[in-house]
Structure formats: structure tokens, C-alpha cells
Amino acid sequence: MLFTLSPAAEGRRKPLGLGSPERAAAVYEALLRHLEGVCSGLPGVDLLISTPGQPFSETSRHLPQRGTSFGESLRLAMEDAFSRGYENVVVIGNDAPEISRSYLEAAFERLESTGSQAAVMGPAHDGGYALLGLNRPCPEAFQSMPWGSEQVARLTEERLQQNGFRVDRLEPLEDIDNQNNLKRFLDRARCGSLSKLAKRLASLLRESLPHY
């Protein structure tokens, strides 16, 4: 499940120091389309895109967001996915472009092999997480959480363990919440498998970040 706001809303919420929300929105649009492509076509996996408004993808199943806060909306989206009959639900955001198909496959493999109460986390370098997978709902993992702080991954893991889940951790990733994250990603991605995305982002940022 790709849990996201629209690119325009993300650009207003996280302007990335680019001078205007519109420039940040263009970055998040590119990241969203990249991750949609990564998620699509995984064998035996349905891609759900959870947004608060109308669907903006014609190729994926839409899961309307509910709730009045980030934590409540994420909790309800997970519960809604389980209510559709899915046994394993993995959620990512739109700001971790280093999530790969093999990374997602590893997450589902951990959920399927761990046991009756399994969780898998892809931690982010800033203390949050880029991926969370569960094989049954756990509302406590989303309640009264200091979202946006460096404690989120640790507290989420503790909540899951307190509710009987075994938590497996994947390799930590960078998510793009500010300009420093964005620059680090562009520096790393120039010559690897993400070079096409990096070039696309650099072309969008010529005025704001001329050295890229």
C-alpha cells in the first residue's frame, strides 16, 4: 500500500527549501510515479494507493483515507486493507525512493515466514520508518505516536513487541523530508540503478539547486 497525500499537498507540507511549494510538488510527483512503478507488477501482490481525496492513478486500486490525523489515517488505512481480505499488508510513503522491488519482496517474505504475529520494518535514517508490514492489525502501533520525531521507529517496534509481534528489521533507508535528504539522495543515485530518477529530479531543480 502506498500511503500518500497528493504531490501538491506534500509540496505544501514539506517544501524542501526549494523556494516554492510548486517545485517541491514536482519532486514528490516524480517520487510518487517512481514508487508506483516499483510496486506495480510484484507477483501475487496488489498495489493499493491510499489518498485523502480522489484517486490520481488509473492503474492501481484506490483506498480512500479516513481519520482526522496522520496516525489515525494510517491506522485506518491498514485496517481497511485487512478488511478487504489481505493476509499481509505492507505500507510505504511517497518519499523513500531507495525502496526497490527486492526490498518489498523481502518484506513480504519476512511476514510469510515469521509466524502468526509478524511485523517487518524498514527504518529510516532519521528515526522514522520508510516501510511497515503487518500480518494482522495492531492499532496500538499508531496511537499517541510523536510523528516526525526520531523516536517513531523505536516506539513503534516497542508497541508491536508489547502486543505480541515479532519484528524483523530491513536495511535502513533515506527518506526525503528536507533539502539535505534530497541532496544526499542525488549524490548517491547519480551512477546507480536510480540514476534515471536522479536525472529527472536534477532537471526539476536546476533553478533551486543549480549545482545538481
From first to last of the 212 residues of the chain, give the pLDDT tens digit: 999 999 999 999 998 989 889 999 999 999 999 999 999 879 999 999 999 977 766 667 899 999 999 999 999 999 999 999 999 999 999 999 999 999 999 999 999 987 789 999 999 999 999 999 999 999 999 999 999 999 999 999 999 999 999 999 999 999 999 999 999 999 888 888 899 999 999 888 887 776 66
d(CA 34, CA 38): 6
pLDDT of residue 209: 75
pLDDT of residue 55: 72
pLDDT tens digits, 86-129: 999 999 999 999 999 999 999 999 999 877 899 999 999 999 99
pLDDT of residue 36: 93
Q: Output the CA angle 53-174-116, nearest 5 degrees.
A: 75
Are the C-beta atoms of residues 150 and 168 closer than 8 Å to each other? no
- Cβ atoms within 10 Å, residue 13: 12
pLDDT of residue 102: 96
Sign of torsion, CA 69 72 78 79? negative
Q: Which of 180, 181, 80 is nearest to 130 (CA)?
A: 181
pLDDT of residue 37: 92
Let me know if 8 is exposed, middle or buried by CB neighbors in 10 A (0-12, 13-18, 19+): middle
Q: Which of 160, 212, 199, 194 is nearest to 17 (CA)?
A: 212
Mean pLDDT of all residues in the chain?
92
Beta-carbon contacts of 33 under 8 Å, excluding residues fewer than 6 positions away, are: none
pLDDT of residue 59: 60
Q: CA torsion angle for 200, 149, 99, 89 (degrees, to 10)?
A: -130
- Cβ atoms within 10 Å, residue 78: 27
d(CA 73, CA 205): 31
pLDDT of residue 114: 78
Q: Output the CA angle 85-155-2, nearest 5 degrees.
A: 40
Provide the CB-side half-sphere exposure for 58 (13 A, CA): 0
Provide the CB-side half-sphere exposure for 167 (13 A, CA): 20
For residue 174, give Cα distances in angstroms to 44, 147, 181.
27, 16, 7
